[in-house]
Structure 1
Amino acid sequence: MSKTFAEFSLHESLQQALQSLGFTSPTPVQEQSIPAALEGKDLLVSSQTGSGKTAAFLLPTLNALAGQETFVPFKERMKAITQPNILVLCPTRELAQQVSQDAIAFVRHMKGARIAAIMGGMPFGKQIQQLKGAQVVVATPGRLLDLVNRRQIKLDKVDALIVDEADRMLDLGFSEDLEAISDLAANRKQTLMFSATFAPRIITLAERMMNDPERIAIETGHSTNTDITQTLHWTDGFEHKKKLLTHWLSEEDLDQAVVFASTQEDTDMLAEELAEAGHSVVALHGAMPQTVRNRRLRSIREGRAKILVATDVAARGLDVPTISHVINFGLPMKNEDYVHRIGRTGRAGRTGKAITLATYRERGKIRALEDYLDARLEVSEIEGLEPSPPPARSGRDGGRGRNGGGRREGGRGGFGGGRRFEGESNFKRREGGRDGDRPQRSFGGEDRPRREFNNDRPRREGGFEDRPRREF
């Protein structure tokens, strides 16, 4: 195996770019994938996030472009319909932007090479102009198919098709789009599929899109970066979480941090609270216009903002070397998203810290996550911010011994006047003691209604004002 990039059979222009970028030694995924891709093989690659997958698929495919005898003159390409040689598909706009920026850095010494990033949320006219004459197109599937239907791009001359973050593609419902694009690029010579995680559904997709792919598994999809210290804090609710968050954001070794919330509303609310407390913070979620998302990501990359509060939209593709801390204020919906969240720190050999804040009600989710990771999160307590003792357990998860615990959590869990926070639209009512109190107000404090009405029914019917808050 090659130990330096200089030992790879890469075009001189790419070697120049690698030297100017300071790239000397390949990561394990690059070391194994680049030689195989240079041979023209179809590859199915599984590697943990932050391991250098982008260079592993860009360098060998750009090498074929650099080796072309003659480039079609730029003016001719601008007149004709765009027919790229390399097509990279990404699940999110942020990842597409990151990949296109990396590609631009790699072709800086390659004469005549043009890169275009195509994604939703941006004006069609502007993107059509950017698309003209591009040999490398990085795109999200939906916008790419829109442009195909508008006859602004043809995929019949694609030589290499790359699918990045394939598992996320399927999570977002892009399966049919991927197959449609695969059919449109049926003349291609090579297909590369990369992801941090591979489930059986990914293998099924690969079998439909690829020809006898060679599989390279650097780490299992469940693995996390060993350079990341993972810590778990049990909390009593929102106010307690907020105090712990303040503690971690005040650490001397914090350069920049990503704080993950569970919903878009919670993201905005938390960013607002942190800004009022004097932190340099920006929020990022999928409901924002793309121009706003771009501007806020740029403020993080350029170091003008220190804290990014985000939903999982930013969990894939965000590559900022100075992110030292990732804080899970709300738990991710899927266990694999945890791997991608904490992968925003500890990238490319650096160290990082990942802190997860969870309530006792979420014990089941934490257990499932630990089973998925095949590891245990280190439970930590901070002096003066210790959680209340856990509620008594009467079942496997302590799920029915909740009365005392629910009210104890509610001691810190409320947020003035019933304000909801941190994705707790799904569980905060019960946790914060509000639902525990409401039946007492409605039914005179008797326990009988809970037995007669099966716990939840009085809250749905009697707790009239509760319903809309759960929907938001």
Structure 2
Amino acid sequence: MSFQDLGLSPKLLSALADAGFTTPTSVQVAAIPKALAGSDLMVSAQTGSGKTAAFMLPALNRIAQNADRGVGVQVLVLTPTRELAMQVTDATIAYGKNLSDLRTATIVGGMPYGAQLKALSRRIDVLVATPGRLLDHLQAGRVKLSTVHTLVLDEADRMLDMGFIEDIETIVGRLPKERQTLLFSATLDGNIAKLGATLMNNPERLELAGQKEKHSNITQSLYYADDLSHKLQLLDHVLRDAALDQAIVFTSTKRGADDLADRLSEQGFSAAALHGDMNQRQRTRTLTMLQRGALKILVATDVAARGIDVQGISHAVNFDLPMQAEDYVHRIGRTGRAGRSGLAFTLATHSERHKIRRIESFTGQTIDAQTIPGLEPKRSARPSSDRPGGKPFNKRSGPSRGGFGGGRPAFGGNGGGYEGRGKPAARPSFNARPEGAGGGYRGDRPEGGSRPERSEGFRAERSEGFRADAPRPSFGFRGDGDRPARPHGAAPAGAPRGPKPAFGKREGAPAKRFGKPAHAERRD
């Protein structure tokens, strides 16, 4: 089937031909005829499947048939992020270049109000916006939406995840009831189904993103890492692949993106970060460099990467695992665009096996675990419980904390106690305190007192349990064979119970020293 078979305007067909689009994708074949017929649609489609054209071409087709262009905003597209809004705007301009005097405006956060006020003071045919900033202008009376005939909710699931539901409901309340609504989402259940029932009129459901059919053109690989240092070595190996054109590396935190981008730059890679704390000028400059090929590696968070459509991205790397299994699909979809093949790599610690299983369950695909010669992980998912001195490690692989960047996960989440959610795991047991730590637990020190690589600026949380002016807490010292029983006040096995002797009153016992207990002096 060709675009000519879908019933589009000749002007749109000419623009598509000029842009090199000759064959519609499956989502376009399914959605465009129904949208041209005026139906409300709820569509689930994988990222990179051509869904922008699936909703924008029917909307522009309706504008092309409408001779009166001075009525006001006719098409409103709501997106979760600035980058996705920019992408939709660029596609709209390309598809509608043969429509006489088509005017498009973009209203997003992070951009100066002056330029937006100027755009809103003129006639607008297609308005692409993020909900928060549009609501600001709407409540200030700077934009009217009473003439909208087509509403598009692009990546509606992400907008709900970001807390835009109330903004969306307020905006939709200003739209005409007689309108067409097109909703696109990764899934159509749960809150998305409720939203569709509330905002749409007998919508047709098109579920084109069957989980087992996702990303057949992307080769997915999984590498297990023992700790942060091991993970960085694996990342270095992946990024030095001779077949790499451009890569996008995902972290779970903004600071983690900055740290990793800095580290890669120091190692000679052309790398930069992209995240929500950057202003629009910085984000636009970074994306422009990426699109022009001046930037080799982009280190990004999930939200910032939504909507990035750069065909030169050959590798997608999950340095930190995503919070939601669904985000994994969006991440790897940044490669393999427009039918090209792509490579997706996931770096996980042994403690994150359950997250890998959730991703596999969501996608219906098994991610093959592989090894790199010379960089194989330890065979055991957990370290031995024995270490010099008879004291066990914490129940995690490697040191209890890793990386750098005081109080935040190193590059997001890693095997050092963080699990990619942007918050620390449970505080370690006092049993895992290294020998000779004295007045407090130092979670950043692995066995032997050495620090993880690049730990500058890291300050481990200190326990308040060991103070020189307070008695030593008793938890964790049970004398049950895991470690020696406490030397003071402990009765021999089988001895009759009796009153406890006071500290310092036992025969032959050393003088009481609260600041430095006797058992802390041992160096076994």
Work out whether the TM-score is over 0.5.
Answer: yes
Mark the CA change 1:411 to 1:252 in structure 2 (over 3 Å): closer, same or farther: farther
Match in the other structure for 1:196: 186
Match in the other structure for 2:464: 461
Mark the CA change 1:166 to 1:414 in structure 2 (over 3 Å): closer, same or farther: closer
8 Å Cα contact 1:49/1:340 also seen in 2: yes
After TM superposition, list the pairs within 5 Å mapping 1:417-456 onto structure 2. Answer: 421-424=410-413, 427-428=417-418, 438=433, 440-442=435-437
> What CA RMSD, in Å, does the superposition of the two structures yield over aligned residues?
3.0
Mark the CA change 1:157 to 1:50 in structure 2 (over 3 Å): closer, same or farther: same
8 Å Cα contact 1:236/1:410 also seen in 2: no
Q: CA deviation at 1:435?
A: 8.3
Larger mean CA deviation between 88-97 and 371-380 belongs to 371-380
Q: CA deviation at 1:219?
A: 2.0
- In 1, the alpha carbon distance for the partners of 2:178 and 2:211 equals 28
The answer to whether the aligner puts 1:209 opposite 2:207 as a matched pair is no
- In 1, the alpha carbon distance for the partners of 2:392 and 2:107 equals 52
Q: What is the SS of the residue equivalent to 2:232?
A: helix
| Residue deviations 1:366-394 (CA, integer Å, cap 9, x gap) | 22222222222110000011111223599
Match in the other structure for 1:386: 376
Selected match of 1:38 from 17, 36, 39? 36
8 Å Cα contact 1:391/1:405 also seen in 2: no
After TM superposition, list the pairs within 5 Å mapping 1:214-293 onto structure 2. Answer: 214-220=204-210, 224-293=214-283
8 Å Cα contact 2:316/2:331 also seen in 1: yes
Q: What is the SS of the residue equivalent to 2:173?
A: helix
- In 2, the alpha carbon distance for the partners of 1:39 and 1:408 equals 58
Unmatched 5+ residue regions in structure 1?
A: 78-82, 395-401, 447-457, 465-472
Higher helix share: 1
Q: CA deviation at 1:238?
A: 1.3
Mark the CA change 1:210 to 1:56 in structure 2 (over 3 Å): closer, same or farther: same
Selected match of 2:82 from 58, 80, 93? 93
Match in the other structure for 1:316: 306
More RCO (CA 8 Å, sep 6+): 1
Match in the other structure for 2:292: 302
Match in the other structure for 2:12: 14
Unmatched 5+ residue regions in structure 2?
A: 385-390, 419-423, 442-460, 468-524
Mark the CA change 1:293 to 1:128 in structure 2 (over 3 Å): closer, same or farther: same
Mark the CA change 1:203 to 1:460 in structure 2 (over 3 Å): closer, same or farther: farther
The answer to whether the aligner puts 1:111 opposite 2:100 as a matched pair is yes
Q: CA deviation at 1:462?
A: 4.0
| Residue deviations 1:59-81 (CA, integer Å, cap 9, x gap) | 00100001112433xxxx8xxxx
8 Å Cα contact 1:239/1:415 also seen in 2: no
Q: CA deviation at 1:433?
A: 9.8
- In 2, the alpha carbon distance for the partners of 1:33 and 1:416 equals 47
The normalised TM-score by structure 1 is 0.85
Code of the residue aligned with 2:340 in structure 1: it is R
8 Å Cα contact 1:407/1:436 also seen in 2: no
- In 2, the alpha carbon distance for the partners of 1:353 and 1:239 equals 23
Mark the CA change 1:462 to 1:432 in structure 2 (over 3 Å): closer, same or farther: closer
8 Å Cα contact 2:78/2:130 also seen in 1: yes
Q: Which has the larger radius of gyration?
A: 2
Q: What is the SS of the residue equivalent to 2:299?
A: strand
8 Å Cα contact 1:280/1:305 also seen in 2: yes
- In 1, the alpha carbon distance for the partners of 2:178 and 2:392 equals 62
After TM superposition, list the pairs within 5 Å mapping 1:53-92 onto structure 2. Answer: 53-72=51-70, 83-92=72-81
| Residue deviations 1:183-241 (CA, integer Å, cap 9, x gap) | 11134420000112223210100000000001111123675311111111100111111
Q: What is the SS of the residue equivalent to 2:399?
A: helix
Code of the residue aligned with 2:433 in structure 1: it is R
Selected match of 2:146 from 152, 156, 173? 156
- In 1, the alpha carbon distance for the partners of 2:256 and 2:435 equals 29
Code of the residue aligned with 1:176 in structure 2: it is E
Percent identity over the alignment is 48
Match in the other structure for 1:166: 156
Code of the residue aligned with 1:438 in structure 2: it is R
The normalised TM-score by structure 2 is 0.77
Aligned length, in residue pairs:
435
| Residue deviations 1:22-65 (CA, integer Å, cap 9, x gap) | 11110000001000000000000011111000000000010000
- In 2, the alpha carbon distance for the partners of 1:8 and 1:417 equals 56
- In 2, the alpha carbon distance for the partners of 1:300 and 1:325 equals 13
